Structure 1
């Protein structure tokens, strides 16, 4: 009886919610207001999910490294090697880390295969292929698997999991309310923004992460719901976890975290260029090892076990690379080289890279966002120490370079400079660092995009042939063909047309250019008034000069060319109209206005379909 009444109760609840939203929308601004209200609700729930993830990670961390159950922020290891928990044997990571990896494989294989991996690419794929449609189960399994993986020492982060958890709830909420298409995509973005805002206490960064990386566009209609959701998620997390910034930097140190001289500007610019290269190397290594793992035809259980053992072995020598490494990043930011030398920082950065790559290749569940921040902090700090040793009077503290390194590697790997700049600004609560962040983030992104068009999140999807929403306009132009937009067959003139008839035809024609055709009807060139103007004052040319003599080389298109190729052609050649040829013969003509009107019609049709 109770089982049969539950669907009826859910249906009635949904009907009442929709009715309430419709009435509120009529009073306060239509469907946009309703979407803002729903987005706020998604933000609150995603914020609660982020809090749950943080507490679960702490609980698993405490249980496995201290043998006590606690949700306090436990740090199982110190920075350079000796275990903070002295009662544990040195081989303890060899038991805990592989056990966590095997647990993750069990959860993902048995309940939700989509919950393995980074998290963010899976959300982007769902938006590109299914308009954001995701299974609700994915969010729950992702939450549990990632908490287990991170808490037991897997070298991954919380941002990927919470993005997938928040996005899954946004998708489920949208489906429950009967929303589809762009509305569902917007609510997926709301869950994403709220999750990032809650985990990192960075509401502005959450909005930019959702728009710049996940949704891939600064959509005006999506901005308000995503913004409100991000605020709701951050407020929820602050209420339950506190209001402290992600990285607590002493006030005395903040004064040194800015550009103080021209030499330091050059230093940061050079750093941005170098970190662009490092970003490309990081992404390519990650996918190269994952590819090798996928091609290795052994049991996933064995892969997880071996990867866990190697990560644990790395952690036995350098425990600071296990887990997220948040405390280690904070120490490097405030240390300024007093404790960590250049060699130690480089070693930690390389070791963290190896541990992260192996964790994900072995089937782990977690994000690459936090590891990129960690590696950026270590290598940035090392760069700062190196520059300070060469120019001691012109270079600021290494902590500033560690923070800039975090932004540079995030921007270079994610191809998202605005997200990197504002997220690091919010996480450090320091406006003075904004100039170095802008310098390194933009230059790292420029270098990385030049060498690698895809980001760390989109590369795997692009190789699977998935067209992302951040290229929606381009994808539509690639889908449309010149044949869809071209006008009627253009007027032509034969090669043997005399000069006087050329001038007369040009004066009577509405076309700017007249294609010149041979005896078989194939285009050999084109003439316009600019081509014949120099001959107008010369008498006696009326019957002597022929069309073939004054024709110039003509730019053409084919019916099967894409409208994107056509636009590139118009950009390269200042033409009013381009003839469209099939087997050399004109079958139509294309104007720039034809391209834009066809694109506009296709865009409206896509919007009507959701």
Structure 2
């Protein structure tokens, strides 16, 4: 007899979930090699996605601005002024129409898009592929029309979303799904920069939140696959290139070069905080105008166009072409005034672009701004400290150091940016100075500001996460999931004798009592009630109200285990009632401290095992 076919599983929204065949799922879930193979697949798909986005944005720029094939917008010098002015505004209008159309289609089903950091911190690696695709399309339009945003946010969003969907199809465990999301992000960054080590450590530091032996192989394999696929499909030079080691240093580097690098790192930390604050101020200003969201990108694009006319076309788009020119050994010479104007224009354009509703990130913008800051430092420092000019570093070296230091201040990931400098220059001495600068920048931002750009935006939304470290499990370990629901409250006006007959010694030792409106009134300890009845004198029978404990202490189902443990410590109680809310106070369960601590310890041990790569 043929066994009945299993019904397809559906998500909470009612959509059918695509699942891999059962044997294949078991192979991937039960074997480290299976996870590595899935990571390689995610890496290859990420390479495809990055290549497709690159081609789409370049085609859009060539169409809007009339660029020759392959010419970067920020490196173009023959764009008509009117086109330069109106191109970003036209793209912003198109983006506004897209936002309006999608908003009408979704209606009330709108929900915030979950990015890879938030997915791994709060949702166990679960992301919406549909939302990720929508973000990537917005990013392509934003970057393609010249808005001063990078594509890296779109790269990681779509790549991590695809990886998450793959993991869900194979029903991966929570830890493995988080790792696979990191693999997708690593492959995206590796494909974008042609730098596998940079991609891998981007995943470790920013997406997974930790490094472990268990995650090393899948993440590195995904990064390598993404880089190879992208280079094969779109054989273009690296997005960032430094022409020759001889352009970096003039003499052998010494310890005297460390101090300028340290100072540059501190300067970049201050600049990074100002830029992040600036983006927030622009967003608040746009909100204060009460301008409909669909009109924001068009207005912002017009402002960016004016800035491009006033400063330079180098402030447009991500800035890849402009960074190539800036890092070229024999590129055009720009004075200190020109560098300062370019920095101010690019920073302002990035703040306006993101604040007005264009979709994108500050990854590449921070690299470009850091390179400008490094060259500006090299131009101004000899005027302040004449001896700096005699050291072994050239302005190009300071550009590389500043590029990494400012990117760390805004994006985070000290090792990520250090490996980026190493893979770009191949110079270990300069990489050592980069490490000094990024440590100074990272420490300063962490102690004075406390956030990267991504986590700062989470903070503005009311989220408390500071990294991708998995804290979602404790939010899921709620009182509502831990409590006992088989509780039978007793009315507070029940005679004590009746209560004692219904609850003899040896029965459950705690009984919840409610008032006349069936609201929580406290907990009665059965042994205490029996003891009080025995000690009663003069024939006066005490009531339940005389033995009630914790009338104002209770838990709610939305509290997590950590909050519940704090409540037990504060009340010095071994058990507390669970009510549906502070207003109604209808009793729905009971939770003991011992059960809470047991489940909390089990989950902590599970997290520790996952971190060190032990079988869970």
The answer to whether the aligner puts 1:351 opposite 2:366 as a matched pair is no
Match of 2:359 in 1: 365
1:435 counterpart residue number: 432
Q: Distance in 1 between matches of 2:17 and 2:376?
A: 60
Q: Secondary structure at the match of 1:248?
A: coil
Structure-2 change in CA distance of 1:269 and 1:607 (3 Å): closer
Question: Quick one: which of 75, 80, 92 aligns to 1:89?
Answer: 80
Cα shift at 1:599: 5.2
Partner residue of 1:256 out of 217, 235, 249 = 249
Match of 2:301 among 281, 298, 308: 308
Q: Is the 8 A contact 1:47 1:237 kept in 2?
A: yes
Once the two structures are superposed, residues 5-26 of structure 1 have per-residue CA deviations (whole angstroms, 9 ceiling, x without a partner) of xx99xx999554x524645x69
Corresponding position of 1:19 = 23
Of 393, 417, 423, which residue of structure 1 is paired with 2:414?
A: 417
Which residue of 310, 314, 327 maps to 1:333? 327
Aligned CA distance change for structure 1 residues 263 and 151 (closer, same or farther; 3 Å): same
Partner of residue 399 from structure 2, selected from 392, 402, 411: 402
Q: Distance in 2 between matches of 1:559 and 1:435?
A: 56
Q: Is 1:33 equivalent to 2:33 in the alignment?
A: yes
Secondary structure of the 1:458 match is helix
- Following TM superposition, by how much is the alpha carbon of 1:184 offset from its aligned partner in structure 2, in angstroms? 2.4
2:245 touches 2:425 (CA, 8 Å); kept in 1?
no
Where does 1:201-350 land on structure 2 (aligned, <5 Å)?
Answer: 201-242=194-235, 244-251=237-244, 253-254=246-247, 256=249, 260-317=253-310, 318-335=312-329, 339-350=333-344
Task: Name 1:153's counterpart in structure 2.
Answer: 146
Instruction: Tell me the distance in 1 between the aligned counterparts of 2:62 and 2:117.
Output: 33
Instruction: Tell me, in whole angstroms, the C-alpha distance in 2 between the residues paired with 1:376 and 1:63.
Output: 30
CA contact (8 A) 1:350 1:375 kept: no
Offset from partner CA, 1:337-367 (integer Å, 9 cap, x none)? 9611111111111110100111111110112
Residues 307/582 of structure 1: CA separation in 2 closer, same or farther (3 Å cut): closer
Please give the residue correspondences for 1:53-202 in structure 2 after superposition, counting only pairs within 5 Å: 53-66=53-66, 72-76=69-73, 78=75, 84-85=77-78, 88-111=79-102, 122-179=115-172, 181-202=174-195
Q: Check conservation: 1:257, 1:399, Cα contact below 8 A.
A: no
Q: Could you tell me which residue of structure 2 aligns to residue 534 of structure 1?
A: none
Change (3 A) 1:131 1:291: farther
Structure 2 contact 198–419 (Cα < 8 Å) conserved: yes
> After alignment, is 427-436 or 347-356 more displaced?
427-436
Shift of 1:84: 2.2
Q: CA deviation at 1:424?
A: 2.4
Pick closer, same or farther for the CA change 1:281–1:431 going to 2, 3 Å.
Answer: same
Partners of 2:242 and 2:340 in 1: how far apart? 22
| 380-389 or 200-209, larger mean C-alpha shift | 380-389
Q: What is the CA-CA distance between 1:310 and the residue it aligns to?
A: 0.6
State the SS of the aligned residue for 2:454: coil
8 Å CA contact retained: 1:388, 1:395: no
Which structure 2 segments of 5+ residues have no match? 1-7, 10-15, 107-111, 483-552, 576-594, 611-615
Q: CA deviation at 1:261?
A: 3.3
CA separation of 1:345/1:363 partners in 2, compared to 1, >3 Å: closer, same or farther?
same
Answer whether contact 2:124 2:178 (CA < 8 A) is retained.
Answer: yes
Residue 256 of structure 1 and its aligned partner are, at CA, apart by: 0.6
Aligned pair in 2 of structure 1 residues 337, 33: CA closer, same or farther (>3 Å)?
A: closer
SS of equivalent residue, structure 2 residue 205: helix
Aligned residue pairs, count: 492
TM-score (norm 1): 0.72
- CA shift digits 1:167-203 (9 cap, x unpaired): 1111222222333522322221111111111011111
Structure 1: give runs of 5+ residues left out of the alignment: 1-6, 485-557, 568-579, 589-593
Structure 2 residue matching 1:289: 3-state secondary structure: helix
Secondary structure (helix, strand or coil) at the match of 1:298 reads coil
Per mean C-alpha deviation after superposition, the further-off stretch among 400-409 and 171-180 is: 171-180
State the distance in 2 between where 1:421 and 1:414 align.
Answer: 13
Could you say which residue in structure 2 is the equivalent of 1:490? none
The alpha carbon displacement at 1:388 in A equals 3.9
Measured at CA, do residues 257 and 299 of structure 1 come closer, stay the same or move farther in structure 2, by a change above 3 Å?
A: farther
Match of 1:448 in 2: 445
Shift of 1:41: 0.5
Deviation for aligned residue 1:244: 4.0
Change (3 A) 1:270 1:148: same
**Counterpart-to-counterpart distance in 2, 1:434 and 1:112:** 47
Q: Alpha-carbon deviations, 1:201-246, whole Å to 9, x = none? A: 1111111111211222224433322221111101101212237443
The answer on whether the counterparts of 2:43 and 2:223 sit within 8 Å (CA) in structure 1 is yes
Conserved 8 A contact 1:203-1:231: yes
C-alpha distance in 1, partners of 2:279/2:89? Answer: 20
Q: CA deviation at 1:264?
A: 2.1
Q: Measure how far apart 1:407 and its partner are.
A: 0.4
Equivalents in 2 of 1:474, 1:259: separation in Å? 49
